[in-house]
């Protein structure tokens, strides 16, 4: 479903990503883990069209999206929940969901979007007409995920969904991602909390200093504890 081929991302003279390649198959949950500054957010932002690559190509459903604007990428069915959530604080929960629904279907099923969000996220159903800025951090993260999902994306990307959340809320967020995955949602998850991400992932990539230093399936990852530790902490 997603192919990243020899992607290099450069900020001035600094390479954030150095010829990295990865793929995500339909129905998979693939995690990209690594320490701060490894290039994880640069990867997602480039796939989502928010950052331009110096070289390489990104394909979604076998078509190049490397030069598309972010809104066109979303319309093709690839949604991003960015780091920090980036909800609209002065708009209500309902209005945030409306924006997510209208991106891909022009608002033809906005009411159904509210119903879906209220079923999946009961707390959002209680706060539909409350300004999103008044929600707690965990509730705002749920809103960010719901806003992406009401557009019925073919694939969901998440950038550090546990960032800044209390441990109990992190449990809820990862339980939700597990449910979405079991229901067939294709997910690319970028997360610094490697333990939580690897527990969910079918496959994972370990990113360090702009390069992938390890890739494997879940069972291979359990056998590679030393390699993963050195990827985070150094030899």
> For the segment 14-46, what is each residue's pLDDT rounded down to a tens digit?
999 999 999 999 999 999 998 888 999 999 999
Least confident stretch, 91-95, 133-137, 197-201, 222-226: 222-226
Full DSSP string of 128-190: TTSBGGGS-HHHHHHHHHHHHHTT--SEEEEE-TTTT--HHHHHHHHHHHHHHHHTT-EEEEE
Please state which of the ranges 50-54, 76-80, 177-181, 230-234 shows the lowest mean pLDDT: 230-234
Confidence of residue 235 (pLDDT cuts 50, 70, 90): very low
* pTM over 0.85, yes/no: yes
Within 10 angstroms of residue 50's Cβ, the number of other Cβ atoms is 15
CA distance 14 to 32: 21
How far apart are alpha carbons 80 and 45 in whole angstroms?
8
Work out the pLDDT band at 1, boundaries 50, 70, 90. very high
Q: pLDDT confidence of 225, banded at 50, 70, 90?
A: low
Does the pLDDT of residue 94 top 70, yes or no?
A: yes
Beta pairing partners, 157: 80, 188
Q: Domains of the chain (ranges plus CATH)? A: 2-233 (3.40.50.300)
Residue 201 pLDDT? 94
95-133 pLDDT tens trace: 999 888 877 555 456 777 788 888 888 888 899 999 999
| DSSP one-letter string for 189-203 | EEES-HHHHHHH-SE
The pLDDT confidence band at residue 73, using thresholds 50, 70 and 90, is: very high
Angle between helices 167-182 and 137-149 (to 10 degrees): 20
Tell me the C-alpha distance between 205 and 33, whole Å. Answer: 6
pLDDT of residue 132: 94
Determine what percent of the chain is predicted with pLDDT higher than 90: 57
- Separation between Cα atoms, residue 11 and residue 221, nearest integer Å: 31
Give the C-alpha separation, 51 to 149, whole Å. Answer: 22
The pLDDT value given to residue 168: 85
* 173-195 pLDDT per residue, tens: 899 899 999 999 999 999 988 88
Q: Give the β-pairing of 29-33 and 186-191.
A: parallel
Between CA 83 and CA 11 the distance in angstroms is: 19
Whether 220 shows a pLDDT value over 90: the answer reads no
Three-class DSSP category at 30: strand
Mean pLDDT of the chain: 88
Report the interhelical angle of 137-149 vs 93-105 (nearest 10°): 20
Query: Residue 130 has what pLDDT?
Result: 95
Instruction: Quote the pLDDT of residue 104.
Output: 59
């Amino acid at each position: 479903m997603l192919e990243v081929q020899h992607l290099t991302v450069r900020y001035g003279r600094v390479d954030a990503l150095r010829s990295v390649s990865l793929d995500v198959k339909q129905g998979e949950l693939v995690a990209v883990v690594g320490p701060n500054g490894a290039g994880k957010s640069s990867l997602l932002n480039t796939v989502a069209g928010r950052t331009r690559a110096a070289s390489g190509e990104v394909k979604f459903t076998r078509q190049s999206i490397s030069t598309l604007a972010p809104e066109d990428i979303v319309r093709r069915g690839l949604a991003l929940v960015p780091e920090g959530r980036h909800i609209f604080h002065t708009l209500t929960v309902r209005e945030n969901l409306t924006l997510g629904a209208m991106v891909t279907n022009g608002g033809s099923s906005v009411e159904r979007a509210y119903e879906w969000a209220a079923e999946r996220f009961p707390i959002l159903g209680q706060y539909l007409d409350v300004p999103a800025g008044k929600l707690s951090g965990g509730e705002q993260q749920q809103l960010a995920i719901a806003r992406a999902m009401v557009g019925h994306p073919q694939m969901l990307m998440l950038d550090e969904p546990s960032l800044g959340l209390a441990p109990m809320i992190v449990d809820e967020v990862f339980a939700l991602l597990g449910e979405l995955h079991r229901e067939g949602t294709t997910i690319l998850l970028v997360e610094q909390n490697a333990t939580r991400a690897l527990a969910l992932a079918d496959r994972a990539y370990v990113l360090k200093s702009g390069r992938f230093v390890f890739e494997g399936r879940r069972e291979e990852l359990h056998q590679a504890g030393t390699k993963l530790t050195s990827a985070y902490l150094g030899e």
